[in-house]
Amino acid sequence: MTEDLNDIIKDCVSGKREAQAQLYQMFSPRMYPVCLYYTKDQTEAEDVLHDGFIKVFKYVSQYKGSGSFEGWIRRIMINTALERFRTQNYLYPVDDVFDYINDQGYDNIISNITFDELLDIVKELSPQYRMVFNLYALEDMSHNDISEKLGISVGTSKSNLSRARAILQEKVAKKYQIDKNLNKLVV
Amino acid sequence: MTTEKKNIDILIKKGLEGAVKSPPPYVWDKISASLNTVKSGRKLLIYWLAAASFTLLIGFSAGYYLAMKKNTGINNIENIAKNNNDNQEIINKQASQAADISDNNQEHSQNTKTDKKEIALINKPESKTKKFTLSPTKTEKSPISIQALNISTPKAIEKSAVLPLIADIPNQQLAFHADLYYPESGIQPQNNNEKPHQKRNKISIGTNISPVIAYRSIQNTGSNFYDLANASRNSLAGNSLESDKSYFNTIESPRLTYTGGFGIDYSVSHRITISSGINLSNYGYNSMEIFVSEDNNALNNKIINSSAGDILVEESRGSLQDDLGKTFMLSQSSYGSALFLSQEKMNVNLSFIEIPLSIKYYFGGTSQKIYVNTGIAPSFLASGSAELKSQQIKLGKIDAVKSYNTVGFAGIGYSSFIFNNKFRFCIEPRLRYMLNPVSKIDYIRNYPYSFSLTTGLFYTF
């Protein structure tokens, strides 16, 4: 952690608005994408970012300096998204179960796919599938942790992950079948 | 923890992680505005606590002043004795006033004579002797009848004051001695059978109960807090913040409930009383439309919308019938769709244990008084639940209400002694308002409040 960041954090603890603005400018570009792939749309992502940063400023005095400050903020954002998920996303229809598609290598397209394209694909998942998939694949959480966080059974978590993967694979495959340009995308 | 990663996981992770994208500028404006609100809320709390402390301080000071007012003479003479040991003239003046009273006393006391005596008051710490003259009344027993002046005195003083007429009185007792003769001290040279002044009873305990009309005010702080409601009830709830708020204001209404508890009053003075106690206070509201849903998997509890937060259905509670005659089973495992019941009412109840601390200021006479009461109370959540009003079916628990809250209250009451001077009845219209939003969810701010007609019966010791 740089001295600058330490100073900014200290000033945030004192409630200085200028420091809060600096902190926001520093971390919001990296947190906003996190909010985007944990929520259903841009409006909700902005709300999570808003609520998350309010918590950051409220509890910044509790940050003890152990571990990455960015990681600390990221956890707050994810927990804020989870809270929101638990209270809001319970009426979305469950997608039909897709046939499981053989997992294939994607090395050849990773460098060509953009954040927005991936985001669009991930957002096609139902909220719960998306949440389970994100927590498992991006946050490296176990099914036990996920079941605890979301209030679902371990079996449900596994099932959701499996379905989410199937859907994602299908979407990715579809995208490249439609384009028929897979070869051109290979670097 | 071991995670078995698939290629698709790696693709998504590599693609999403480390992305940088700036949020729209207005997000910071909203955050900044919210921080101002939080700050002003804290400031308000600090001001409020400062005002409450100041009120308490003023209350105690006023009470102390009023309690000591009857001893003004004591203070005067004491100050004279302490601070102006060499000012013989002032002491003599006070003594002369005392002599006048004593002269009047002759009307009430036959066979008494007035005789000017000299009393030497030895102010021990300074070892100085002060002298002044006074006109005590004589009785057969003693030249100065302390009893005739209706003063209960320590024996040591009585003895020393009577016989030698030279009293060796320490500072503290000097004040008492002066009190004998000061006209405003409440001591009247009357006959011996009359009490000097009535002792004020300081402590009362009692019980109170009140019917309550409870409701809540809600604020939406930046999100559509029920997309669910918006999506399913567009006729009432649109997509704007205001329509969310108006949606709940349309479907929810005040409810009738009760509050009760025990109280203790400490009378600081005839005007001011400090009150505390413990109360069970109910808040809440009725909801005219009930919106039932469940999570994606139909494995979790059903949730029923309410502005206080989601209500988790704990177990199978029976069935509901919607406007179209469709029966909906309220159970954890049955899978169903959203349901509106415009004919049914859901009763949302929030119960809190409160420990009030308040100040009452009384106007009027001794037996009947009007008072103003204001104070705060820490408020601990006892239960948050919902039931169907007509069928008395308990639906479940409200999931997101804070355990600790603070309520402010104020009222104007009437108090009167009944039966005798021990029992006191009071009736007080009172407003309670939760000073913080009770919902844990940031984007819903639900402030319960209630109007009550508090009736109480107190026993005074």
- Please identify which residue in the block is written with the tokens 């704007």: B240
Q: Is B25 on the interface with A (CB under 8 A)?
A: no
pLDDT tens track for B378-394 = 999 999 988 877 666 77
Task: State whether ipTM is beyond 0.85.
Answer: no
- Residue B276 φ/ψ, nearest 5 degrees: -145, -170
Given B19, B32, B296, which is nearest A126 (Cβ)?
A: B296
Closest CA to B38 of A31, A135, A15: A15
Alpha-carbon torsion (A45, A47, A48, A54), positive or negative:
positive
Question: Which residues of chain B lie closer than 8 angstroms to A20, CB-CB?
Answer: 32, 35
Give the C-alpha distances (Å, rounded to integers) separating B155 from A97, B80, B146, B152, B423: 100, 25, 11, 9, 36
Which two tokens mark A1?
């952690």
CA-nearest residue to A90 within chain B is B295
Closest Cβ opposite residue A37 in set B7, B8, B16: B16
Distance from CA of B235 to the nearest CA of A (A): 19
Which residues 20-39 on chain A approach chain B with CB closer than 8 angstroms? 20-21, 24, 28-30, 32-33, 36-37
Q: What does the block give as tokens for A47? A: 């709300």
Measured CA distances, B439 to A45, A68, B307, B381, B399 (Å): 22, 31, 9, 11, 9
Enumerate the domain spans of chain A. 3-87, 96-185
Q: Which backbone phi and psi does B77 adopt, to 5 degrees?
A: -70, -35
Contacts for B152-155: CB closer than 8 Å, 24+ residues apart: none
pTM: 0.43
B299 to chain A: which residues are within 8 Å by CB?
Answer: 152-153, 156
Residue B30 with chain A: CB contacts under 8 Å: 50
Q: What is the rounded CA–CA span in Å between residue B340 and residue B321?
A: 9
For the domain made up of A96-185, the CATH class stated in words is mainly alpha
Rounded-to-integer distance, Cα A14 and Cα B391, Å: 54
Contact present, A160 and A128 (Cβ < 8 Å): yes
How far apart are the C-alpha atoms of B237 and B231, rounded to whole Å? 8
Domain A3-87 = CATH 1.10.1740.10: yes
Confidence class for position B236, pLDDT limits 50, 70, 90: very low
pLDDT value for B43: 64
Cα–Cα distance between B313 and B333 in angstroms, integer?
A: 11
Q: Which residues pair with B391 in a beta bridge?
A: none
User: pLDDT band at residue A16, thresholds of 50, 70 and 90?
Assistant: confident
Subunit contact A126:B31, Cβ cutoff 8 A: no
**Would you say the C-alpha torsion B397, B400, B405, B410 has a positive or negative sign?**
negative
Amino acid at B57: L
Low-confidence winner among A9-13, A33-37, B95-99 (lowest mean pLDDT): B95-99
pLDDT of B153 > 50? The answer is: no
Mean pLDDT of chain B: 67
- Given CB atoms, is A174 within the 8 Å cutoff of chain B? no
**Chain B neighbours among A 63-82 (CB < 8 Å)?**
none
| CB within 8 Å: A94 and B293 | no
The pairing of strands B318-321 and B327-330 is: antiparallel
Whether the CB of A176 is below 8 Å from some CB of chain B: the reply is no
A96-185 has the same fold as A3-87: no
Q: Which residue of A has its CA nearest to B226?
A: A88
Phi–psi pair at B407, nearest 5 degrees: -120, 140
Q: What's the token pair of residue B439?
A: 């919902």
Helix and strand element counts for chain B (H, E): 8, 19
Residues of chain B contacting A145 with CB distance shorter than 8 Å: 1
Instruction: For residue A106, name the pLDDT band (cuts at 50, 70, 90).
Output: low
Q: Report the percentage of chain B scoring pLDDT > 70.
A: 46
Query: What are the backbone angles phi and psi of residue B372, rounded to the nearest 5°?
Result: -110, 135
**In terms of CA atoms, which chain A residue is nearest residue B15?**
A115
Q: Assess whether pLDDT exceeds 80 at residue A77.
A: yes
Q: What residues of chain B lie within 8 A of the CB of A165, using their CB?
A: 6, 8-9
CA distance B14 to A38: 16
pLDDT tens profile B179-218: 333 333 333 444 444 444 555 668 899 999 999 999 999 8
DSSP 8-state symbol, B435: S
Residue of B nearest to A128 (CA): B296
Q: How far apart are CA A22 and CA A38, in angstroms?
A: 24
Residue for token digits 């910044």?
A60
**Strand ranges (E), B322-438:** 327-330, 346-354, 357-364, 368-388, 393-398, 404-418, 423-434
Flag whether residue A153 sits within 8 Å of chain B, measured between CB atoms. yes
Task: Give residue B242's pLDDT.
Answer: 53
pLDDT of residue B118: 40
What is the C-alpha separation between B262 and B194, in angstroms, rounded?
37
